[in-house]
Amino acid sequence: MKILEEKILSEGIAVNEDILKVDSFVNHQVDPVLMHQIGEAFAAHYKDCGVTKVVTIESSGIAPALMTALALNVPMIILKKQPSKVLNDNLYQTVITSFTKGTSYELTLSQQFINENDHVLIVDDFLANGEAATGAIRLLRKAHATIAGVGILIEKSFQPGRGKLMEQGIDVYSLARISKLGKDLIEFIPEEE
């Protein structure tokens, strides 16, 4: 998605080969026009897949997931990173290790909002090692839901996430695929025509 790549180049900060800061338009301050365009792009790609729900992990994926759900006219579910004090039973839970933060957390999904009739699109901000997406897939499979695919804003293509998901038979659709990242260096895999 050319407009996302341009935004990454103009406002993203490449800290090193692992960290790309996009907090000026994705995850601290949000560019609503860009999020709308992202939602439309994901919806166009998955429009014929029978998606019944869009799922994301709090918090950076919320804006693009909401816009995608709006474009597909389906509900959005937010997977919580820690159990709520009020939602403490009838939960699906799994542990995920965050590549970026180097910490583990318990991902939680209320059984009330998902079932075996759901065909789910997962939307997230980054794909690196694939741990977050794999954890979300584990939770959804506990509910016997099926996976329509994983929509990613920014993929670090030099890391193994895409391969891990594709090995599981998951369709991965990334809007910006970074081939090389380093201090003040961002290179993309050219978009397929």
Residue 144, sorted as left (phi over 0), alpha (psi -120 to 50) or beta, turns out to be left
Of 99, 120, 117, 107, the residue nearest 42 (C-alpha): 120
**In Å, how far from its chain's centre is CA 52?**
17
Residue 27, marked binder: yes
Residue 167 Cα distances to 16, 28, 108, 154, angstroms: 28, 33, 24, 20
Cβ atoms 149, 120 nearer than 8 A:
no
Residue 130, marked binder: yes
> 192 phi and psi, to 5 degrees?
-75, 140
Q: How far apart are CA 95 and CA 104, in angstroms?
A: 7
- Sign for the CA dihedral angle at 85, 91, 94, 96 comes to negative
Residue 115, marked binder: no
Residue 20, marked binder: yes
Residue 156, marked binder: yes
Annotated binding-site residues for 5-phospho-alpha-D-ribose 1-diphosphate read: 128-132
Annotated binding-site residues for xanthine read: 20, 27, 156
Annotated binding-site residues read: 20, 27, 128-132, 156
